[in-house]
Structure 1
Amino acid sequence: MEFQVAVASLDGILINQHFGKNREFLIYRIQDNGEYGLVETRELKAPCGQGQHQEETLVRSAKELQDCSFVLVARIGPGADKVLASHGIKAFEIYDRIDRAIDKLIKYVNGTTKR
């Protein structure tokens, strides 16, 4: 199954950013054969400011990521997780290197490992 994943990273190596504070996502396309690559860097307005999220901005972020099946972040609050889920996007909290996290995600999608 081919799909896209949005990754929250400050350095392009580690997943190390909170969903609500993230201003750009690295978008990776995973192909049916398990190969993947970066297809774009997508800028969004960070939905959280001063410790609280703004519902309107959360919804806008979810819509802007709607072509992604998954979001990989270091942290995500329950409100943001719920809004993403309502747009068909599954969020995973993981602090790891991007390549290792995507490999784990591929195994999860293929049913060879649990979350």
Structure 2
Amino acid sequence: MSYRIAVTSDDGKYVNQHFGQTTHFLLFEVEDDGKYEYLGSVKNNPTCSSDEKNKSEQAISLIDDVSILITQNLGKKPLEICIKKGIKPVISYKAIDDALDEVINNYTLE
């Protein structure tokens, strides 16, 4: 069964953005054999610079069809929302390909 992963990155090469500062999420589809495909990106309004209520919920609603979020870091509120929605957050500072390989090989979906 395939699943999706969202990644926070501003250059498309490294996991280098904090969840609250990301301007877009990169989306990947992972197949049963562990191979993945880039699907595109989803534009996001960074939550750290927003005065809107429920800003973390709004950002996570953009990626609510993913199983895993790979990010450089995230705060307590987005962490709680991810867990509640069944999205597994993973902290990484690696190249995106390395982070995806590590997640695909070491994390199980529950």
TM-score scaled by length of structure 2: 0.90
Q: Distance in 1 between matches of 2:56 and 2:19?
A: 10
The 3-state SS of whatever aligns with 1:99 is helix
Moved over 3 A (4+): none
1:46 aligns with 2:66: no
Q: Distance in 2 between matches of 1:4 and 1:55?
A: 27
Cα RMSD, aligned residues only:
1.8
Aligned to 2:26: 26
The 3-state SS of whatever aligns with 1:48 is helix
Is residue 57–residue 81 contact of structure 2 (8 Å, CA) maintained in 1? yes
Is residue 22–residue 46 contact of structure 1 (8 Å, CA) maintained in 2? yes
TM-score scaled by length of structure 1: 0.86
Aligned to 1:64: 62
Is residue 21–residue 47 contact of structure 1 (8 Å, CA) maintained in 2? yes
**Gaps in structure 1 of 5+ consecutive residues:** none
Aligned to 1:109: 107
Is residue 10–residue 23 contact of structure 2 (8 Å, CA) maintained in 1? no
Q: What are the Cα deviations for residues 54-90 of structure 1, in whole angstroms up to 9, with x where unaligned?
A: 6511111112111110111111112211111111111
Q: Percent of aligned positions with the same letter in both sequences?
A: 27
Q: Distance in 1 between matches of 2:7 and 2:53?
A: 21
